[in-house]
């Protein structure tokens, strides 16, 4: 009797002490509480390092009401640069350059604004033109002429809300450089306001140096308007029809930052 009572006492003490976690019983989960220090570390890993964005703006809306967004990266107060992509909705690949810059680590050394999707309606329709059938790169109020067909320039200069949105944005920002990305002509226009920088950029991006005369229909273009009205310079960068994803998301962002004298890195890094 005494031996039975002693055995019951030992079993009761073991139950009150809780399970022994020497190892899991097959088929049964082992529950452990996580120390507070590990919880905070896990949260930091999930959130990751600070991203590059320091400001974001909706600068206007498309014909169909889609927002046109600009993202500020880098360090305000430095040289101000604007990069624009997808002015033509059937030239979507270079958006990846700008979204990679936006979504990566912080950018240091320049004050950079990116507009990855200038023509959201065209992108949704996979069309060169906007929802009213206007080529936005023929709609600017500089050397504008009445063009039809694939290069439809609109009923008048700056008739389109997308054009007015970007014009207003560039007036407010007043950058020293504008780089406009296109496809599929595979080259950089060196017949521009700052040919020396254009040549440097062509070497950095490993693209041919060329003269983009649009076959005689380069009227009402964004770069022409900017170069005529601002102290800064604008140029066109054309990639091929199907650049690789690696080139767009890894190589081109790195090459651009290098030629612009910028770098990636967290604030406070040496």
pLDDT of the residue at 237: 97
Higher pLDDT, 4 or 170: 170
Q: Could you read off the pLDDT of 33-51 as tens digits, one per residue?
A: 333 332 232 222 334 444 7
Higher pLDDT, 132 or 270: 132
Q: Could you read off the pLDDT of 48-73 as tens digits, one per residue?
A: 444 789 999 999 999 999 999 999 99
pLDDT of the residue at 216: 74
53-262: CATH topology: Aminopeptidase (3.40.630)
User: Chain-wide mean pLDDT for the chain?
Assistant: 84
Q: Tell me which range, 9-13, 18-22, 34-38, 137-141, is most confidently predicted by mean pLDDT.
A: 137-141
Give bridge partners of residue 61 from the DSSP assignment: 67
Q: What percent of the chain has pLDDT over 90?
A: 74
CA distance 212 to 251: 24
Q: What percent of the chain has pLDDT over 70?
A: 79
DSSP 196: H
CB 266 within 8 A of CB 48: no
pLDDT of the residue at 181: 98
- Kindly indicate the confidence band of residue 218, based on its pLDDT and cuts at 50, 70 and 90: confident
Over residues 212-241, the mean pLDDT reads: 91
Q: Two tokens at 184?
A: 């599929």
Over residues 90-97, the mean pLDDT reads: 97
CB 257 within 8 A of CB 74: no
The domain segmentation of the chain, as residue ranges, is 53-262
pLDDT of the residue at 214: 74
pLDDT of the residue at 18: 40
Query: By mean pLDDT, which of 49-58, 78-87, 147-156, 195-204 is the weakest?
Result: 49-58
DSSP H/E element including 202: helix 195-205
Vertex 119: Cα angle to 118 and 121 (nearest 5):
150
pLDDT of the residue at 266: 61
pLDDT of the residue at 243: 96
Q: What is the residue-wise DSSP string for 34-59?
A: PPHHHHHHHHHHHH-S-BSEEEEEEE
- Kindly indicate the confidence band of residue 19, based on its pLDDT and cuts at 50, 70 and 90: very low
Give bridge partners of residue 58 from the DSSP assignment: 69
Residues in contact with 71: Cβ distance below 8 Å, sequence separation at least 6, in sequence order:
53, 55, 56, 102, 113, 114, 115, 116
């Amino acid at each position: 009797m005494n031996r039975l009572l002693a055995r019951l006492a030992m079993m009761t003490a073991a139950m009150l002490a809780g399970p022994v976690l020497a190892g899991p019983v097959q088929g049964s989960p082992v529950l452990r509480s996580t120390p507070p220090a590990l919880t905070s570390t896990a949260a930091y890993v999930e959130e990751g390092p600070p991203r590059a964005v320091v400001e974001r703006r909706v600068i206007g809306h498309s014909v169909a009401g889609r927002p046109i967004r600009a993202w500020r990266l880098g360090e305000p107060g430095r040289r101000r640069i604007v990069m624009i992509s997808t002015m033509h909705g059937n030239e979507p690949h270079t958006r990846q350059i700008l979204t990679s810059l936006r979504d990566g680590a912080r950018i240091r050394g320049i004050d950079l604004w990116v507009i990855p999707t200038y023509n959201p309606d065209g992108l949704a329709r996979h069309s060169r033109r906007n929802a009213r059938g206007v080529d936005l790169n023929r709609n600017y109020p500089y050397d504008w002429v009445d063009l039809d067909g694939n290069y439809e320039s609109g009923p008048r200069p700056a008739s389109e809300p997308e054009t007015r949105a970007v014009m207003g944005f560039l007036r407010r920002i007043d950058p020293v450089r504008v780089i406009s990305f296109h496809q599929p002509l595979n080259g950089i226009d060196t017949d521009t306001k700052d040919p020396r920088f254009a040549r440097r950029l062509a070497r950095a991006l490993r693209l041919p140096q060329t003269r983009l005369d649009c076959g005689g229909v380069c009227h009402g273009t964004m770069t022409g308007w900017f170069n005529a009205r601002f102290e800064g310079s604008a140029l066109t960068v054309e990639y091929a029809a199907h650049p690789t994803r690696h080139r767009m998301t890894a190589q081109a962002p790195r090459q651009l930052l290098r030629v612009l004298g910028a770098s990636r890195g967290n604030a406070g890094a040496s």
